[in-house]
Structures are given as structure tokens and as C-alpha cells.
Amino acid sequence: MRVQKVYIPCESLLSKDNYDYSDSFKAEFTDKEDTIDIITITKAFFSASPGWIGKLFVLRNKIVSIFGLKTGDKIKAGEEVLDNFKADIGEQVGIFKVFERTENEIILGEDDTHLNFRVSLLLDPKLDDKKDFSISTTVNFNNWFGKLYFLPVKPFHKLIVPAMLKSVIKEVKKGAL
């Protein structure tokens, strides 16, 4: 599976604003039975990350908790939450809250004292049982600490998002078989 770095898709709700930082990655996959929808994609986003990413988030949470920033363990998460996940606006999984939703896109994110971020999960049906799946991220810095915080995060982010994209597609394809 080939992951491409792309501009935020024009179909995305995130394409209409300006940000301090943004990136987007896309991959195409086949869905012959047309059973993979945006809810399936979003649940896989929360449950299918590679182990090394989980370890990075544990480390991140330990470090940022010292500075009073939000961490995933302060908010209810787990299998029960995912089983009941409907992607309603305001619904929360870990540090991710649902901000917006369309038939093919869910905007997740969080507003914190140092920065606000949004993650778009966009499923774009194509011809011949193909679908594009893109993960786009935007960040707005609220102060100098947000800029400082993001400096070491940025290089990891550029590794994490393509790995997550691949992992999500593998997970949904496995469930669709």
C-alpha cells in the first residue's frame, strides 16, 4: 500500500481555514463489498495503532502532565467507548473530541491552553470499488509554549500519521473479509 503526502483534500471540512501547521496523507484501497464507512474507519483509527505509537503516547502523556496539559488517561477511553461510538458531535475518545461530521468525514481534535489541533478522517469513494482514505492534521498555536511543544512533536508526527493510515486500512480490510 502506497501512502502519499498530499494537500488537505478540497472535500475536507478543514480545507477552508488557515492554520499555523497542516499536513495530509492519503492511501487508496479496495472495498469490493462497499462495507467500509467512516464510522468503521474512525473506530479502527482508535484501536489499530502500531505498538510503538502507543508507547510514544504513554511517554508524551507522562511528560505533558507535568505542564498541566491534557492527557488521554484523564478522559474515559477503551473498548466499551468504541463499541458505543456513534461519532456524535461532542463525543470523546481519549483526548479526541468529535468537532464536526459529514457522511464521509469526521473531524476530531482538542483545544488546549498551548494549541488547538484537528484531525480529519476522510473517506472518499472512487470508481471501481476503490476508496481514498486521508488523514489530515491542522494545528493552531495559542502561545509560545504551543510552538515550543510542537517542535519535537513535528518529526514524530510525520512518521506517526502515515503509519496510522496504513494500520487503519489493514484493520478495516481484515474486518471486511
Residue ranges in the chain whose pLDDT is less than 50 = 74-77, 177
- Residue range(s) defining the domain that contains residue 43: 4-176
Q: What is the CATH number of the domain that holds 43?
A: 3.30.530
Q: State the pLDDT at residue 59.
A: 60
Q: State the pLDDT at residue 12.
A: 97
Q: State the pLDDT at residue 77.
A: 47
Using CB atoms within 10 Å of the CB of residue 8, give its burial: 0 to 12 exposed, 13 to 18 middle, 19+ buried: buried
Q: State the pLDDT at residue 128.
A: 86
* Total number of domains in the chain: 1
Q: State the pLDDT at residue 89.
A: 95
pTM: 0.84
Q: State the pLDDT at residue 70.
A: 60
Q: State the pLDDT at residue 42.
A: 93
Q: State the pLDDT at residue 83.
A: 78
Distance CA 119, CA 41 (A): 13
